[in-house]
Structure 1
Amino acid sequence: MADLKDELDTSPEVGELDDLPAPLPGEPSEPVTGPAEDSEAGLLDRAHALLDAHPVADGYSGLPWALRQRPSFDLELGEGTVDTDVPRMREGHVGALFWALHLPEEPTGEQAVGATLDQLDLVKTVVRAHPEGLRLACAAGPITDVRHFGRIAVLPGPASAAALGDSLGVLRSLRELGLRALTLSGVSWASEAGLTRFGEEVLREMNRVGVLADLSGASAETVRHACAVSKAPVLCARSAAHALRAHPANLPDDLLAALGAAKGLCMVPLTAEQTGPSVRDVADHLDHVREVAGPECVGLSGAYDAGTAHPRGLTDASGYPRLVAELLRRGWPETDIALLTWENVQRVLREADFTAREAQRRREPSTVKITELDG
């Protein structure tokens, strides 16, 4: 694995698109000069301009846990010991990102609640310590405001469903503290068989308070069940196309279609394990998800600082312009790229908040316990 990571972390020179196709027989060995905007440099210039207007809303960062292992750090000046810092996020045009509260070995019971609160406290501490670069924001409007002030918006989550135990009061408390997404896996009420009756109640309460359901790593039945039950859009924070790479967290076409029909969001991770070792491999997954689920249902998830190897040219948060340049080369309309990078996440957040306001008018906070529904 170390050899693979070393190979994948070898970045091309700045401005070079990876894996350019070899010339066909009879074609000149040097690229034919075309319009400036179609050249390699022209594509990168267009990518930067487009990302200036529509920055990346990154669906998953493992930075909180990575920082917990370090005695000191400075994300605003630059932090070479991690994949993500403010200078590289600015270079990559990252405007917002979800900071995961997951732990390498997820605890259970009361330990899970305490560990999640510790992670949430760390997120807030780190954001407060970097006021020139970061701001906490949990809704579409404030995220846009943060961007206009030249800062990067941080959204806490996803957290592990184990943090709830069997208490929906814990869910509401975590939401009050800023939690924005919860991963529905690793618990008895969201299993291979799908959601239990208590699982459905958890999802309804998540809708009521505006916590997004993250289905990455959930069973196929849980994904189908959640798409059918949830009144708010669901998301898969780290899922690519299973048809292109048979990773257990990647989604087969029938689930991608169900996610698209539910107006959910599949956030394709920039990891070699799930998408492949090159920028073009990642673009292949984005093409596939866009075709099957629709352009309004595809997003990006860097998955940086989560302990995984990344494709060449995408080894840290500065690499997004290279990926967008590849999509432009493939003929993606700028409107679809704007959806991919920024607008789809904004839509999901707005719809989740609208659903929560409507649900709170009709439904009181649930106090149901797992034993009352699942026995």
Structure 2
Amino acid sequence: MHELTLNKQLYERIKEEISHEFINSNMPIRGELIAPRIGITANSNEKLGSCISRAYSDAVVMAGGVPLLCPITDDESVIDEYIESIDGLILSGGDDVLPYYVGEDAAKNVGTVAPERDRYEFLILRKAVAHNIPVMGICRGHQVIALAFGGTIYQDIYSESKDQPINHNPPFDRSHKVHAVKLTHEKSILKELLSNGDGDCRNVWVNSVHHQSVKDIPKGFIETAVSSDGLNEAMEAYPEKSIFSVQWHPEQMIRGNVDKERQLKLFEYLIDEARLYHRARAIHKSVLVVDSHVDTPMHFKEGFRFDIPSDTLVDLPKMKDGYVDAVLMAAYIPQGKRDKISLEQATKQAISLLEGIRRIVGENAEKLVIATSPEAVAFAKEQGKKAIMPVIENGYAIGRDLSLLRTFKEMGVGYITLCHNGDNDICDSASKSNNEHNGLSEFGKDVVREMNRLGIAIDVSHAGDKTIQDVLKISKAPIIASHSSVRAICNHPRNLPDELICEIASKGGVIQVCLYSGFLNEESKKATIKDAADHIDHIVKLVGVDHVGIGSDFDGGSSLCGCRCEADLIRITIELIRRGYSKIDLRRILGLNLMNVIGNIQQIGSFLMPFDN
């Protein structure tokens, strides 16, 4: 599946017409609800203002949710409040979309438009998607979703469609069946919901009240239903995003008691997804959520800003949208030559990257802090700030100079990954290795001892199996694998075999599952968040829930279907909740395990330092 991408040009058009003078505010955190709150976008009525057919809210209530009408507004701060208040979103039916917003001339038979509704609805959709709130689109809402993600619509199917369309807007009661739809995708959510459990999709009759229709499905979506004239009737974005939409009006069929049980399943599914989202968000708000490895500093170019949405997979808005409290941000040094000049250059590069981390934190001091300990991470969350712990990826940065470890410790470095792709003076790597040292070099053994003494965590991601075995024998402190997955599931040398996972865990360490698709599934293009959850499951079954976490490797090459950026980490949480993990389990997986291990390592360092000079 292609990565699902929002239509930036459309939002630029919308933004041109909306004031940017908004007030930031935070809604109080709600506890877990039995009935999730479902926002319903409003229609625009000249006399009544924001309003909606009761059929929508009744369908939500019947399905077990609490409906909340979201009145039309141009105030983005109000829309932010809607997003913090809801657990699911329904984009309702209504007027045509203003053709200007999608860069088209108005067609001959375009109907009534409400530009203020268009602006508000595209914005609320964008924010809901950024937060991973489940979304259902109905009729116009189906078309809005298509346009928002770069698809196209027929402004008028009767004048624009090449084939002769059937009547999609007859003068029937809105609950009456008008035409049949064929469910087109074997593994779609829609087919699962509407096939009555027997796979028979020949008799799914729907109502129809529209003259516009989705023409081209956006990338990242699959078409799930068509009418007999070939026009699209439904689509969904699973497993990329929790978004699905239909062209017909299931709420009106429910109101009229027409195929009620089957049409109600669409709303029940949304409610189930919203309930999972609500639980995940409540957990993220109440526990420490820590990503143990991101490579964002390599993208710190001149003028880079961390406080606004950027092309990087990690920035402040994405951390906020995903309710992520801290990232361990790596000064990554690619393996190069090992002559004196090259080693000195590697050290300078590491220092420059670490200074870059401090610069972006300094520029956002009201929202960001440097955290050098687990206590500092927890304190930052209490203060409503995000935390960054500097780390180094590749011990190549210290060359052959052991004293540089103290320099990096004083710069706040929490862990050092012993190597990257290729051997260095410390050890042999898992990839591109010549097995130069048969594990740790003699210098590497000194590095391990000195890192123990200084309380710097030893990260064995990228290290070869023999290197890891040597580290386990020598280290007086637990070790971590900041971004490594399970070799038993995906046979890659970067992943850890079960015996090493067991040894790391037995000595109090933690394995942080990497979200790089090639480490999760040997057919990398098929990898999804479900594969990431499988790797977590495997480690939990093997050594228990106390020895696993998540290290995304964002901005270092990771791109996983369903988890493309820091905001999407909550979707891993949702998948784990779906599999039965408790809040206590998730508290450990999402950050506590890693923080406990780093805290233990720092305590051991404070104990060793006075006696081991």
Structure-2 change in CA distance of 1:152 and 1:269 (3 Å):
same
Q: Secondary structure at the match of 1:98?
A: strand
Structure 2 CA distance for aligned equivalents of residues 259 and 22 of structure 1: 44
1:16-27 equivalences in 2 (<5 Å): 16=134, 23=192, 27=197
- Which residue among 341, 344, 363 is the counterpart of 1:129? 363
Q: Secondary structure at the match of 1:194?
A: coil
Cross-structure match for 2:3: 9
Q: Could you tell me whether the CA contact under 8 Å between 1:92 and 1:319 is conserved in 2?
A: yes
1:132-171 equivalences in 2 (<5 Å): 132-171=366-405
1:19 CA displacement: 7.6
1:1-375 equivalences in 2 (<5 Å): 7-10=1-4, 14-16=132-134, 23=192, 27=197, 39-68=272-301, 71-79=302-310, 81-104=311-334, 106=336, 108-185=342-419, 186-191=423-428, 192=435, 193-276=438-521, 277-308=527-558, 310-364=559-613
Q: Could you tell me whether the CA contact under 8 Å between 1:269 and 1:303 is conserved in 2?
A: yes
Structure-2 change in CA distance of 1:245 and 1:234 (3 Å):
same
Structure-2 change in CA distance of 1:152 and 1:106 (3 Å):
farther
Scaled by the length of structure 2, the TM-score of the pair is 0.54
Which letter does structure 2 place at the counterpart of 1:288? H
Structure 2 CA distance for aligned equivalents of residues 74 and 341 of structure 1: 27
Structure 1: gaps spanning 5 or more residues: 1-6, 365-375
Which letter does structure 2 place at the counterpart of 1:339? R
Q: Secondary structure at the match of 2:484?
A: coil
1:143 CA displacement: 1.3
Which letter does structure 2 place at the counterpart of 1:10? L
Structure 2 CA distance for aligned equivalents of residues 36 and 156 of structure 1: 42
Which letter does structure 1 place at the counterpart of 2:542? V
* Partner deviation per Cα, 1:221-258 (whole Å, 9 max, x = no partner): 11112122212221111101111112221111111111
Q: Secondary structure at the match of 1:318?
A: helix
Structure 2 CA distance for aligned equivalents of residues 66 and 32 of structure 1: 45
Q: Which shows bigger deviation, 194-203 or 327-336?
A: 194-203
Structure-2 change in CA distance of 1:221 and 1:21 (3 Å):
farther
Structure-2 change in CA distance of 1:344 and 1:190 (3 Å):
same
1:148 CA displacement: 1.0
Structure 1 CA distance for aligned equivalents of residues 519 and 190 of structure 2: 23
Structure 1 CA distance for aligned equivalents of residues 588 and 344 of structure 2: 39
Scaled by the length of structure 1, the TM-score of the pair is 0.87
Percent identity over the alignment is: 26
Structure-2 change in CA distance of 1:311 and 1:179 (3 Å):
same
Q: Which shows bigger deviation, 99-108 or 201-210?
A: 99-108
Q: Secondary structure at the match of 2:607?
A: helix
Q: Could you tell me whether the CA contact under 8 Å between 2:134 and 2:270 is conserved in 1?
A: no
1:46 CA displacement: 0.2
Which letter does structure 1 place at the counterpart of 2:386? I
Q: Could you tell me whether the CA contact under 8 Å between 1:203 and 1:213 is conserved in 2?
A: yes
Q: Secondary structure at the match of 1:281?
A: helix
Aligned CA-pair RMSD: 2.6
Structure 2 CA distance for aligned equivalents of residues 10 and 106 of structure 1: 36
Structure 2: gaps spanning 5 or more residues: 7-128, 136-186, 200-261, 429-434, 522-526
Length, aligned pairs only: 354
1:106 CA displacement: 4.5
Q: Could you tell me whether the CA contact under 8 Å between 2:289 and 2:325 is conserved in 1?
A: yes
Structure 2 CA distance for aligned equivalents of residues 256 and 153 of structure 1: 28
Structure-2 change in CA distance of 1:33 and 1:333 (3 Å):
farther
* Partner deviation per Cα, 1:54-104 (whole Å, 9 max, x = no partner): 132111111100123xx323222322x211111110111111111111134
Structure 2 CA distance for aligned equivalents of residues 37 and 232 of structure 1: 47
Cross-structure match for 1:370: none
Q: Larger Cα Rg: Structure 1 or Structure 2? A: 2
